[in-house]
Amino acid sequence: MDELYFQLGWQHIINWDAYDHILFVIALSAIYLLRDWRKVLVLVTAFTVGHSITLALSVLHIIRIPAALIEFLIPVTICITAISNIIRKDDEPQKLQLNYFYALFFGLIHGLGFSNYLKSLLGSQANIVKPLLGFNLGLEFGQIIIVMCILLISTTIVKFGSLKRRDWNMFLSSATFGAAFLMVIQGVRALFI
């Protein structure tokens, strides 16, 4: 593993400039509390697997998708995930749910968003395996930090703030949807201008 790219990976995901990816991780984690950390770890790992696949394919120039389309699709994935949280009937997340599909499938789209950043870092470097692995592991580490913060905040608010779990999920998912919807509107403009 390349330590430089590991550091770049976690710094990239934690950086506020990557707020679209942070919003997606918030949407994925909104229905969970700290006691659900194992489920969320699987969820975040599914997301990492998804974006690792398309990140590698894009960096290797196997697939090419216009950046404007990706920048539109990323907030769409956030909106879909947030709406799914809002319309759920159960307070408690089930073992196998739609969020795992979202994490993996939408991770494919998010990987394309990371690819332009990573391509600019790699330049014309011949061996990309170690940097790609390091960057992906760094992203995973950064996502776990974000998830742990969300789970701690959610648990504190639900357990000690006497707010129902469903109400917190509605608030967090609605706020995430609102922020992402503004990004969708911007993305539509970018596609057609």
**pLDDT tens-place string over residues 150-175:** 999 999 999 988 899 999 999 999 99
Mean pLDDT, the chain, as a whole number? Answer: 87
Which pLDDT score, from 0 to 100, does residue 94 have?
A: 61
Total tally of structural domains belonging to the chain: 1
Contact partners, residue 155, CB within 8 Å, separation at least 6: 33, 34, 35
Residue 48: which domain range? 3-192
What predicted TM-score, i.e. pTM, was given to this entire model? 0.88
**Region 130-153: what's the mean pLDDT?**
91
